[in-house]
């Protein structure tokens, strides 16, 4: 699944594949990125996304990293993990994405991936 596309203004990340992988509605995905539903709908219609140097672009890049880390840690069960209760988030990862954005979820996965036992 390609998440980046080259445009005249440089490479941008496509939002639809990311949103669909997480199983989020347009409204929920827009809240996670901190933009309006109309903005997400416009990006999807144009098969594009935010520029990487914007706040929404950094949030989308974090979601792509979350997907990568979840797949590394949980394999085929990665999407199932997003519906489990995680004490550090005080919620499920999917709900935390919508309520607090991608950064807390990325932190939990990053710590799990890089912890030493």
Residue 4 phi, psi (nearest 5): -120, 145
Residue-wise pLDDT for 8-43, tens only, equals: 555 678 899 999 999 999 999 999 999 999 999 999
pLDDT of residue 25: 96
Instruction: Domain of residue 20: give its range.
Output: 4-114
The strand ranges marked E within the chain are 4-7, 10-13
Residue 23's H or E segment, with its range, is none
Residue-wise pLDDT for 89-115, tens only, equals: 999 999 999 999 999 999 999 998 887
Residue 90's H or E segment, with its range, is none
In three-state secondary structure terms, 35 is coil
pLDDT of residue 13: 81
How many domains does one find in the chain?
A: 1
Of 36 and 3, more confident: 36
Token digits of residue 33: 């990125």
């Amino acid at each position: 699944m390609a998440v980046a596309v080259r445009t005249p203004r440089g490479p941008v990340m496509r939002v639809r594949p990311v949103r669909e992988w997480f199983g989020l509605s347009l409204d929920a995905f827009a809240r996670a990125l901190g933009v309006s539903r109309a903005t997400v709908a416009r990006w999807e219609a144009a098969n594009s996304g935010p520029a990487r140097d914007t706040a929404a672009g950094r949030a989308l890049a974090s979601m792509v990293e979350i997907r990568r880390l979840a797949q590394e840690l949980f394999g085929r069960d990665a999407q199932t993990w997003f519906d489990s209760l995680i004490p550090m988030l005080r919620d499920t990862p999917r709900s935390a994405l919508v309520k607090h954005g991608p950064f807390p979820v990325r932190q939990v996965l990053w710590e799990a991936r890089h912890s030493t036992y």
